[in-house]
Structure 1
Amino acid sequence: METRSYYLDAIRLLFIFVAGGEPPTGANSEGASLVFAGNTRLCAFDFWMRYPDYLADELLERFDQTGDKAYLTLAEKIFSSEEPDLRRFPMIRWRFGAYERMDDALSILLSRGLIRIGGRKLVDTVLETDFFVMPKAIQTTTDIISEYPTLQWYIDRANLVADIANGRGGAALKKRQYQRIEYADTALGEIIPSITNDVLNRLEEKLNRVAT
C-alpha cells in the first residue's frame, strides 16, 4: 500500500509559494503578501524540486550562459549529496508536462489560512489559478526552519528553483522542460525518467575543462 505524507507535500509547496511569489497587484489580492501565478508554473517548480538531476542540468545551462562557477559548484553538490537517488520524488507526464494532483496538500495550506486561491483565467489556452500567499505563510516558513532546522534544504532549494525560473511563466518553464528528450518522450501517464548519468557526464566534462 502506498504511504506518503501530504503534510510534507504541503510544506514543500509552501516554500515554493514563498520563494516564487511576486508582489500582489489587483483588488482580489487584498491582504496577500505575495502572489504565485499559475498551477502550470507550480507544477514546473515542483518538478525541479523533485528531480534534482533535471535541476542540475539547468544549473549547467546557467553556467554555460553566465560563466559563473557558483552554478557549477551547486550542480556538483547535488551529485556529491546523492540527491538524484535520495531526494527524487517521481512525477508522471500529462498533457502539459510533469503533473500531480495537489488537492490534499493545498487543502492543508488553505485550511490553515496560509494561502488563498484566486479566480481561474485563460493563459495560453490553459486555465490557470493564482495562489495568494498570506502573511501568516511567510511567518510559518520561518517558524518551521526554527523548529526543524533539517528542513532548511526545502527553502534553499525553492529559492534556487526560483532563481533558475528567472521570472518565467508556466508556459515558458514547461517549454524549457520539454526540451529534454527524455521528458518529452515519456508516454502520457508514465513516470518521467531520471537523466542522472547524462547530466553527471556533462558535469564531469565541464569540471575537467575548468580545471585545465
Structure 2
Amino acid sequence: MVEGPPSPVGVVPVTSREQDAVRILLLLDNAGEPVDVAERTLPGLDTAVCVVRSTVRLQKLDFWLRNPDYLADELLNDYEVSLEQPLLDIAASILDSEEPEVRRYPMLRHKFGAWENIDNALAVLRGAGLAARKRRGTVERVRQSDYYLLEKGREVAREIVAAEPVFGYYVSRVRLVVQLADGLGGTQLKRRQYLQREYAETPLREHISSVAPRARARLATLRAATHDKASGSGSDRQEGADEGV
C-alpha cells in the first residue's frame, strides 16, 4: 500500500480492494465511538469495540482521508476562525509536500455527495472476522448501516501499524479528520463538504476535482498576512521604544 509517484495528468489513481480494506480498518479503529452495552448482545457484536454510525458518516470521513487537499483546506477554514497556529502549521505540512498528489484517491460525486463502493473492502474485513455491519430498518428499506470494529480487528490494526510504520500516516490523518468532524453527524459533514465550490460543482458520477492549487495559493496569502502582522507588531514595539513609551 506504499504510494508511488503522482499519476500522469488525466489518469485517475485508483485503490485496490486490499488497500481499501486496510484504510477502512484503520479508519474504524481511530474514528469509531464506543459501543453501547446493549449492542454487544446482538448476534456477531459480542466482541465489538467501536462503531462508525451510518454509511454517510463513514464515506464523508473517508473522503477527507482520501483527499489531503480538501483536508488541508478545511484546516485553513478552521484557522481563519480560531487563528490557532497549529492548524496553519499542519495545513502547511500537507500543502508544502506532494501529499495532495501522491496520497489523493478521488471519489465520485453522487446525489448525496462523495461516495465510493466499499462493499468489497468490507467483505475482506468481515470475512476475516475484523469488522461487522448492522443494518437498521426493514428488508424493503434500510434506514441506516452501522460499521463495527471487532476486538480481532483492533488487534490486527495495531499490528499492521507496528509492523509497517508507513501506515502510521493514516492513523495521524484519521485523527485530524475526527477533529474536523467533532460533533458533526453524517448529514452535517455532507453539508460542510458541499461548501467547497469544486466539490459542489462536480457533475454527478464524475470524480471530484482537486483543490490543491487553490489551497496552496490560499496558504501563501495567509502566511503573508501572518508575516505582515508579526512585522507590524514588531514595528509598533520599536516605535514605542523610540518614543519612550
Measured against the shorter chain, the TM-score band is over 0.9
Distance apart, 1:27 and its partner CA = 2.4
1:25 is matched with which residue? 36
Go from structure 1 to structure 2 and tell me whether the alpha carbon gap of 1:126 and 1:113 turns closer, same or farther (over 3 Å shift).
closer
Q: Work out which of the two has the higher radius of gyration on C-alpha atoms and give 1 or 2.
A: 2
The residue aligned with 1:194 is: 210
2:109 counterpart SS class? strand
SS of 1:34's equivalent in the other structure is strand
Is 1:158–2:174 an aligned residue pair? yes
Q: Which amino acid aligns with 1:58?
A: E
Residues in 2 aligned to 1:148 and 1:7: alpha-carbon distance in whole angstroms: 15
Identity in percent: 37
Q: 2:17 aligns with which of 6, 22, 34?
A: 6
In the TM superposition, residue 79 of structure 1 has moved relative to its aligned partner by 1.5
Q: Secondary structure at the match of 1:33?
A: strand
**Alignment partners' CA distance in 2, 1:91 and 1:20:** 20
1:171 to 2:171 alignment: no
Retained in 1: the 8 A contact 2:29–2:154?
Answer: yes
Distance 1:151 1:26 in 2: 31
Q: Name the TM-score, length of structure 2 as normaliser.
A: 0.80
CA contact (8 A) 2:135 2:143 kept: no
1:26, distance to aligned residue in structure 2 (A) = 5.3
Cα deviation digits, residues 5-62 of structure 1 (max 9, x gap): 2111111111111121111115233431111111111110111011111101110111
Q: Is the 8 A contact 2:136 2:142 kept in 1?
A: no
In structure 2, relative to structure 1, the CA distance for the partners of 1:126 and 1:167 (3 Å cut) is farther
Deviation at 1:195, TM superposition (A): 1.1
Q: Give every structure 1 segment of 4 or more consecutive aligned residues whose post-TM-superposition deviation is greater than 4 Å.
A: none
Q: How many residues get paired?
A: 209
Q: 1:198 to 1:3 in 2, by over 3 A?
A: closer
**Which stretch has the larger CA shift, 28-37 or 78-87?**
28-37
Alignment of 1:75-154 (within 5 A): 75-121=91-137, 127-154=143-170
Query: Are residues 1:207 and 2:218 paired?
Result: no
2:240 alignment partner in structure 1: none
The code of the aligned residue for 1:190 comes to E
Pairing partner for 1:57 from 65, 70, 73:
73
Match in the other structure for 1:70: 86
Answering whether residue 57 of structure 2 is matched by residue 41 of structure 1, we say yes
Deviation at 1:160, TM superposition (A): 1.1
TM-score by length of 1: 0.92
What 5-or-longer segments of structure 1 have no aligned partner?
A: none
- Quote the Cα distance in structure 2 between the aligned partners of 1:163 and 1:86: 23
Contact kept? 1:28, 1:118, Cα under 8 Å = no
- Equivalent AA in structure 2 for residue 100 of structure 1: E
Q: Shift of residue 128 of structure 1?
A: 2.0
